[in-house]
Amino acid sequence: MKSGTAVCKDANEVLMYFGPVALRKVVENAELYPIRGLFQFYDFFHEIDAYYHLSHGFELGVSTGWKGLDPLYNVVPGELTVITGVPNSGKSEWIDALMCNINETHGWKFALCSMENKVREHARKLLEKHIKKPFFNARYGESVERMSIEEFEQGKQWLDDTFYLIRCEDDCLPSASWVLNLAKAAVLRYGVRGLVIDPYNELDHQRSINQTETEYVSQMLSKVKRFAQHHSCHVWFVAHPRQLHNWDGNPPNMYDISGSAHFINKCDNGIVIHRMRDKNAGPDMNADRVHRVQVCVRKVRNKVIGSIGDAFLTYNRITGEFGDLNETTITRKERKPVGS
């Protein structure tokens, strides 16, 4: 005869030693076998509690570093931001400045898959934004003092501590899966919090004969989003618009992105970077306007961290810095965010 605290190996022993009433209680109180992929909210209460109490510190997103833009867009780990704009509008420059701001304020590290930049050129751009001085005594630097050798050496250490480069060293184009695998390694090894893929059209997009481009883009963006969510890493994905015929100088639409409407449908945030140009303005006025950048927030899935609207920044051509206008204009568009 077993004691009341003894462990029975199966239901038959419970019936033999403790009777049918005890067996019924065991069956009624048994824990259900877990079904993979099926959950109750209880399983996530720890995560919901942390969200409510703001335990992690980034639930509302981290600041962009520009007061004029923060009401519209904040950076949340685990989200995907798609960025577009016409050629030479400053998309890559703006992302570089955003990363510098976030690193300075929050200490984030980043993985860079920037296929249009030579390493030395990208280093120059980042150092100029970080040190706030030109890299060379060149014409673009005007009369501004060049960064000193001491500042340069300190900047090199900052580069090495902050950024990790994802580059394909042979002639083959990298695939999205290849980039994400290396980004995962950067997250696990170095604690990277942000990934930049710039631009989409430099990736290898081989697909099966029966798969359309729209289906491919949908599948590829799903992989990017899963990576972002699983590794709590924000992803910025630059995608060029298709060739715009009869362009009138206004910012393009997110649906103008070459490839598929899934870029706007699947992303968490959609931003258009636009260098303001006025064809009808005189040369002096136009020169002033070209140093103003319009940041068009066209999609925000999570209302907690922003809203649709436009913000305007200044652009310092010498150092590549972006700044708030003295009287920054924010234009909110009162409409329901796409995908909410």
The distance in angstroms from the start CA to the end CA of the chain is 63
Q: What is the pLDDT of residue 1?
A: 54
The CATH number that applies at residue 159 is 3.40.50.300
pLDDT band of residue 116 (cuts 50, 70, 90) is confident
- Cα separation, 278 vs 177, in Å, equals 41
- Does any domain span residue 102? yes
Beta strands in 94-167 (DSSP E): 110-114, 163-165
Residue 19 has pLDDT above 70, yes or no: yes
Residue 227 has pLDDT above 70, yes or no: yes
- Does any domain span residue 24? no
- Does any domain span residue 35? no
For the chain, give me the number of helices (H) and strands (E)? 9, 10
Q: What is the pLDDT of residues 287-323, one digit of tens each?
A: 445 578 999 999 999 999 999 999 999 999 999 999 9
- Cα separation, 54 vs 303, in Å, equals 16
- Does any domain span residue 4? no
User: Could you give the 3-state DSSP secondary structure of residue 323?
Assistant: strand
Range of weakest confidence among 3-17, 128-142, 234-248, 306-320? 3-17
The total number of structural domains that make up the chain: 1
Q: What is the pLDDT of residue 5?
A: 57
pLDDT band of residue 340 (cuts 50, 70, 90) is very low
Q: What is the pLDDT of residue 335?
A: 43
Residue 261 has pLDDT above 60, yes or no: yes
Overall pTM > 0.75 = yes
| DSSP output for 262-275 | HHHHH-SEEEEEEE
Residue-range definition of the domain harbouring residue 113: 64-332
Q: What is the pLDDT of residue 338?
A: 44
Residue type, 102: I
Q: Span 203-216, mean pLDDT?
A: 88
Q: For residues 237 and 80, is the Cβ–Cβ distance under 8 A?
A: yes
Angle between helix axes 91-106 and 119-131 (nearest 10 degrees) is 50
Residue 336 has pLDDT above 60, yes or no: no
- Does any domain span residue 339? no
- Cα separation, 155 vs 151, in Å, equals 6
Neighbours of 6 (CB within 10 A): 10
Alpha-carbon separation of residue 65 from 21, 196, 205 (angstroms): 67, 18, 35
3-state helix, strand, coil in the chain (%, to 5): 35, 15, 45
